[in-house]
Structure 1
């Protein structure tokens, strides 16, 4: 694949199934060292075992654990990754949940979908800024969704205490992640470029209850992987559709004041401010 060279390191969150696992397989085939994030040790070990059975070098696979519903675990994981890997060339923020029918708060006090889908990847990315900067040319790819266009950031009620629905919470989380991508283009370390991408409607456990036509997870992984090479030119901070064409995002993504406001609030909510 053009743009990839050996001896590069990628971190993929949510790498035990679906798009994340398929991406790990593809980056390993391109001779990347791949750090696979899992929520639990059992699922992580199962993913590693499958990849080893396929012939991939176990020395180029590293497992890290964190439940994104606990920001303390995210911070611990980020510190461990930074100690073990001086340089991170590619970070793919893939881990996400569809949410629950009833509103759930994490032990950190945040609405669960907003924390897992946005605050956790925000914290992870920020804590890995040093390792990303060390690569000189690095790339962050955030898995967004076309549904981000239906989202709204309720600045006065980010935990959605007053009005909660599963779909609205999910759309808000993906809108925030897409706005964060735009912020990284401005505030990220030198040499870092960022993109958010809608990989399409995919046949993964994430959409098991959807009941709609979906593409195989491998096709979605192919889409995302093409954005990963840091040497591959992209529009920094842009939102890409499943055809890898820069697409018009929701209006708040282009609202510089709103993007700055979200960055500042996210620093405070994750303890970085």
Structure 2
């Protein structure tokens, strides 16, 4: 197999299991040095051991731990990556949690799925912009969901404390992630940022969908395809099945994008 990503460094969030772990495996298989993010150091080390057991070279793998329910931990992760990887070629924002049955706020005062699934990705893309720009042709791939098309942004109550639904909260987090993709790659930065639906896979998020899922490796293949230099994705677009796919209207609404950026900056600046 050709090592299309030899000499490139990738950060994959939520890489201790599921689609994230399979993405790390495939990126390493393509020659990339992979920074494997997990919630805890123990989970990260276990993920690396499994990757090595599946044939990845240990010298290609690094671990980094951060609990995304704390924005300060996201900041610390970004600082650590910036110090150790002055040039970052790939950022895969894959970390995600299922919204719980009851509205749950983090210590930062943000609904947990909105923070982990969107705000952390927003913050990482912003803090690592210099390292990504240094690559000259960096990619940011945001792992989203087809559920974003059912969502709406609750601008007056983004935490949805007044009328909470776990599906609505999760879908809103994925809508925000897809909306923010384009703004993660400022014009002239050399960065391309997209969102992708990995398909319905058998992961911890499957109960939200209530159906049988495909192996996580299939979802990871859709993610990794957008990381390869042989593919030229269009900035800010949403992909499904290898092609640009229809989105919620808000994804490409400039006013909504600006409003989201302002909200994200407010929440991360005030709390981090």
TM-score, with length taken from structure 1: 0.95
Deviates more, 1:209-218 or 1:26-35: 209-218
**Counterpart secondary structure, 2:193:** strand
Q: Pick closer, same or farther for the CA change 1:108–1:62 going to 2, 3 Å.
A: same
Deviates more, 1:143-152 or 1:206-215: 206-215
Matched, 1:136 2:136: yes
TM-score, with length taken from structure 2: 0.95
Deviation readout 1:22-41 (Å, 9 max, x if unpaired): 11111111111000000012
Matched, 1:229 2:228: yes
- Counterparts of 1:65-76 in structure 2, within 5 Å, are 65-76=65-76
Tell me by how many angstroms 1:183 deviates.
Answer: 2.2
Contiguous gaps of at least 5 residues in structure 1: none
Deviates more, 1:45-54 or 1:30-39: 45-54
- Separation (CA, whole Å) in 2 of partners of 1:188 and 1:105: 34
Deviates more, 1:91-100 or 1:53-62: 53-62
Tell me by how many angstroms 1:92 deviates.
Answer: 0.4
- Separation (CA, whole Å) in 2 of partners of 1:188 and 1:9: 22
| Paired residues, number | 271
- Separation (CA, whole Å) in 2 of partners of 1:7 and 1:17: 25
Residue 115 (structure 1) aligns with = 115
Tell me by how many angstroms 1:184 deviates.
Answer: 2.7
**Counterpart secondary structure, 1:118:** helix
Deviation readout 1:27-65 (Å, 9 max, x if unpaired): 111111000000012211111111222332212111011
Pairwise CA RMSD: 1.8
Deviates more, 1:52-61 or 1:109-118: 52-61
Instruction: Confirm or deny: 8 A CA contact 1:129 1:188 kept in the other structure.
Output: no
Instruction: Confirm or deny: 8 A CA contact 2:2 2:30 kept in the other structure.
Output: no
**Counterpart secondary structure, 1:202:** coil
**Counterpart secondary structure, 2:181:** helix
**Counterpart secondary structure, 1:106:** coil
Q: Pick closer, same or farther for the CA change 1:192–1:121 going to 2, 3 Å.
A: same
Residue 169 (structure 2) aligns with = 169
Instruction: Confirm or deny: 8 A CA contact 1:137 1:231 kept in the other structure.
Output: no
Residue 212 (structure 1) aligns with = 211
Residue 104 (structure 1) aligns with = 104
Instruction: Confirm or deny: 8 A CA contact 1:110 1:159 kept in the other structure.
Output: yes
- Separation (CA, whole Å) in 1 of partners of 2:242 and 2:55: 30
Q: Pick closer, same or farther for the CA change 1:150–1:44 going to 2, 3 Å.
A: same
Tell me by how many angstroms 1:230 deviates.
Answer: 4.5
- Separation (CA, whole Å) in 2 of partners of 1:205 and 1:146: 16
Instruction: Confirm or deny: 8 A CA contact 2:87 2:135 kept in the other structure.
Output: yes
Deviation readout 1:201-242 (Å, 9 max, x if unpaired): 00123215754121111111111110112552111110011x
- Separation (CA, whole Å) in 2 of partners of 1:230 and 1:67: 31
Q: Pick closer, same or farther for the CA change 1:194–1:2 going to 2, 3 Å.
A: farther
**Counterpart secondary structure, 1:203:** coil
Instruction: Confirm or deny: 8 A CA contact 2:3 2:30 kept in the other structure.
Output: no
Q: Pick closer, same or farther for the CA change 1:211–1:154 going to 2, 3 Å.
A: closer
Residue 200 (structure 2) aligns with = 201
Matched, 1:51 2:57: no
